[in-house]
């Protein structure tokens, strides 16, 4: 179910990722690092123009792995930092990150008033020279423009949520859902969104049988919702996205249900390659040339 090709750190440093190239693997390529933060999220995109895009920071305790990956990739500055929501497994490493690296623009969900503490909001104000708060909206693809960014030839769209969610409604649904496009390769990042958001996305962007009018959810790469738990990753959503590669930021040694075995079975049934934050790897690396996505390579932490 899971392919593992171990690549030593030394080889990656000397051959695959020379520091002189900065946050970039090869001309015209986009490189994605899924940092092994256990049951937590941190993804680094090295964009074709050399800019860095970091999505979440993992836990405080796993920040040393985040720093190691940033250094391995040749990152000297975080050009763009997207915080999907304010839970500790997504922003726990932020304070130390801000000490170690300059940060360009921080993006948080304007609707999210529930997952960040007042102390955290004050901290964001203190470190952010540029702090933007997009208002995602599940807009019709015809005639209305989604909130998003254009970073060179890579587009980043904020698909959800379209309103605020309280703790009683499961405030994980405040997570920013991202669609990142590099040529023909699409990355769909669900953060901790649950099946409720999946259902709404299907109604807007899914194929006609789910009420939508487009196939905007189709993606080469899916960062599975909520660590691969059963409250997300519904069958209908998985079939609509039909990813080649699925990254589940869970760890069954930390939580037996993250990822859930039934969820793993659903992805296996559609033929997707599954990758999990388990084992000793420092990170998993995928490369897009704009036409296709590579098989994930495991960088050993030893």
How confident is the model over 79-90, as a mean pLDDT? Answer: 98
pLDDT tens-digit series, residues 261-294: 999 999 999 999 999 999 999 999 999 999 999 9
Fold of 6-300: Metallo-beta-lactamase; Chain A (3.60.15)
pTM: 0.90
Q: What's residue 141's pLDDT?
A: 52
pLDDT tens-digit series, residues 157-185: 999 998 999 999 999 999 999 999 999 99
Q: Give yes or no for a contact between 107 and 134, defined as CB atoms under 8 angstroms apart.
A: yes
pLDDT tens-digit series, residues 100-119: 999 999 999 999 989 999 99
Q: How far is the C-alpha of 95 from the C-alpha of 165, rounded, in Å?
A: 25
pLDDT tens-digit series, residues 195-238: 999 999 998 888 777 666 666 899 999 999 999 999 999 999 99
- What's the whole-number average pLDDT of the chain? 89
Which two structure tokens, joined as six digits, stand for 101? 């690296």
Q: How far is CA 64 from CA 96, 97, 202, 300, in A?
A: 9, 10, 37, 15
- What ranges do the domains of the chain cover? 6-300
Q: What's residue 1's pLDDT?
A: 42
Beta strands 30-35 and 281-288, pairing class: antiparallel
């Amino acid at each position: 179910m899971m392919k593992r090709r171990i690549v030593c750190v030394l080889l990656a440093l000397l051959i695959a990722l020379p520091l002189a190239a900065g946050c970039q693997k090869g001309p015209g390529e986009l490189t994605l690092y899924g940092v092994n933060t256990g049951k937590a999220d941190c993804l680094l995109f090295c964009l074709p123009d050399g800019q860095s895009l970091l999505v979440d920071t993992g836990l405080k305790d796993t920040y040393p792995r985040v720093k190691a990956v940033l250094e391995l990739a040749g990152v000297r500055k975080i050009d763009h930092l997207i915080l999907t929501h304010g839970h500790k497994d997504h922003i726990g490493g932020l304070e130390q990150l801000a000490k170690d690296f300059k940060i360009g623009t921080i993006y948080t969900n304007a609707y999210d008033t529930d997952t960040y503490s007042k102390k955290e909001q004050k901290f964001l104000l203190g470190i952010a020279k540029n702090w933007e708060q997009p208002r995602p909206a599940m807009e019709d693809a015809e005639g209305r423009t989604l909130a998003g960014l254009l970073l060179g030839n890579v587009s980043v769209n904020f698909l959800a949520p379209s309103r605020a969610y309280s703790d009683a409604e499961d405030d994980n649904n405040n997570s920013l859902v991202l669609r990142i496009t590099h040529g023909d390769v699409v990355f769909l990042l669900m953060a901790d969104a649950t099946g409720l958001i999946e259902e709404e996305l299907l109604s807007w962007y899914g194929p006609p049988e789910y009420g939508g009018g487009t196939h905007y959810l189709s993606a080469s790469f899916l960062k599975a919702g909520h660590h691969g738990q059963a409250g997300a990753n519904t069958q209908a959503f998985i079939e609509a996205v039909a990813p080649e590669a699925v990254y589940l930021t869970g760890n069954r040694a930390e939580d037996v249900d993250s990822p859930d075995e039934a969820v793993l079975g659903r992805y296996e049934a559609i033929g997707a390659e599954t990758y999990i934050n388990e084992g000793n790897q420092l990170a998993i690396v995928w490369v897009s040339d704009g036409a296709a996505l590579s098989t994930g390579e495991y960088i050993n932490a030893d």
